[in-house]
Amino acid sequence: MDSVASFLASDHPTAFSFEILPPIRGNSIDKTLDSIKPLLEFNPAYVNITTHRTEVSYTHVGGGTYRAISAQKRPGTVAIAAVLKERFGIRPVPHIICGDYGRREIEDQLIDLSYLGITDVLALRGDRERNAASFSTSPDGHIHASTLARQIVEFNEGIMADGSCNSPLAHPFSFGVAGYPEKHEEAMNLDSDLIHLKTKVDNGASYIVTQMFFDNKKYFDFVERCRAAGIDVPIIPGIKPLTSLRQMSLLPRIFHIDFPTELSRELMRCTTDDEVRALGVEWATAQAKELKSNNVPSIHFYAMHATRSVVDIAKNIY
Ligand code: FAD
């Protein structure tokens, strides 16, 4: 199985890829697998699986006392990646995040993935803890994805987290990183964000996957600015089909993105989730058609909770 990087470097028409979330702790994997089966018809070039940091929840244990429980809400990224690879022959791209994990724990994940023959990952810092003012991680962890990128490259070369040396990997990892057409929320401005994005690429990333955007102009401008900044790897646009009324306020708040005026006006006319879903399919189809006509390397769909919409869009596009 080739890497995503070599696939992207090959001559190919605009590919189809999507991202899924592992199920909430305690839920079966069957529903997740059932929901993605209709998407396999469109021959995805690869499938991303998100990774989530530990969250603290509080359980009432009586007498006004609460116990804090620390757990990953959505565990299972590596196992799902293995299932996708073995059962469906799909190229999986599990996400590796810095949040919670020290270098040794990240190394353990790379070892597990390497044993499973999974050598594509997306290298991310990860979200900060819910309600935390800033990002934190384990004392010897990474504060930015750029040093995680360096760790992965060193791991490929046989350099371990404790500095000891092994043979270089026979099947090295290749990886992508995240980019933000509308700027990462913590960046001073788009220019500084691009400087840090370039460091991630200089440290070994083979491609960039963008945060969702609803205005293609933002993506095209971003690509232009990246090229001017000397970032020359493929930049894969991320598309999210809208599916519910609550996303009107949720997505701008969580992902720090704007809806274009025309879309926001049409959304304000919607009174049901069904109406939003229909509009979401129409809007994302128009976005995808324009992106495809501009020969983007792949269109990456944020598919979770929206697989039905992604099927409708993919039918219009591929
Ligand atoms: P970084 O590249 O480290 O950047 C974070 C911020 O720090 C930016 O503002 C950047 O400009 C700044 N910065 C970078 N380097 C430096 C430096 N040396 N000095 C000062 N500032 C610096 N989150 C999850 O928890 N799990 C997931 O599975 C997940 N998947 C994602 C997939 C995609 C395609 C995208 C776009 C995002 C995903 N996220 C995920 C969200 C992501 O983890 C957050 O947006 C996170 O806040 C930033 O991650 P990053 O890798 O871009 O971080």
The phi and psi torsions of 94 (rounded to 5 degrees) equal: -70, 145
DSSP state of 99: T
Q: Whose CA is nearest to atom 20 of ligand 1?
A: 196
pLDDT in tens, 69-128: 778 889 999 999 999 999 999 999 999 999 989 999 999 999 999 999 999 999 999 998
Contact 151, 119 (CB under 8 A): no
Pocket probe for ligand 1: among 125, 208, 236, the residue whose CB has the most ligand atoms within 8 Å is: 125
Of the pLDDT bands very low, low, confident and very high (cuts 50, 70, 90), residue 220 is very high
∠ CA 178-297-287, nearest 5°, is: 85
Pairing state of beta strands 174-179 and 207-212? parallel
Share of the chain above pLDDT 90, in %: 87
Q: Is the pLDDT of residue 302 over 90?
A: yes
Of the pLDDT bands very low, low, confident and very high (cuts 50, 70, 90), residue 26 is very high
Helix (H) or strand (E) holding 61: strand 54-62
Closest atom of ligand 1 relative to the 99 alpha carbon: 25
Three-state DSSP state, 191: helix
What mean pLDDT is reported for the chain? 95
DSSP state of 165: B
Of the pLDDT bands very low, low, confident and very high (cuts 50, 70, 90), residue 133 is confident
Q: How far apart are CA 23 and CA 30, in angstroms?
A: 9
Contact 294, 221 (CB under 8 A): no
Instruction: Output the pLDDT for position 63.
Output: 84
Contact 280, 243 (CB under 8 A): yes
Q: How many residues does the chain have?
A: 318
pLDDT in tens, 51-77: 998 877 788 888 888 888 778 889 999
Write down the pTM of the prediction.
Answer: 0.97
* Residue 178 CB–ligand 1 contact under 6 Å: yes
Q: How far apart are CA 4 and CA 239, in angstroms?
A: 18
Q: How far apart are CA 298 and CA 43, in angstroms?
A: 12
The phi and psi torsions of 91 (rounded to 5 degrees) equal: -80, 110
Instruction: Output the pLDDT for position 1.
Output: 60
CB-neighbour burial class of residue 273 (10 A; exposed 0-12, middle 13-18, buried 19+):
middle
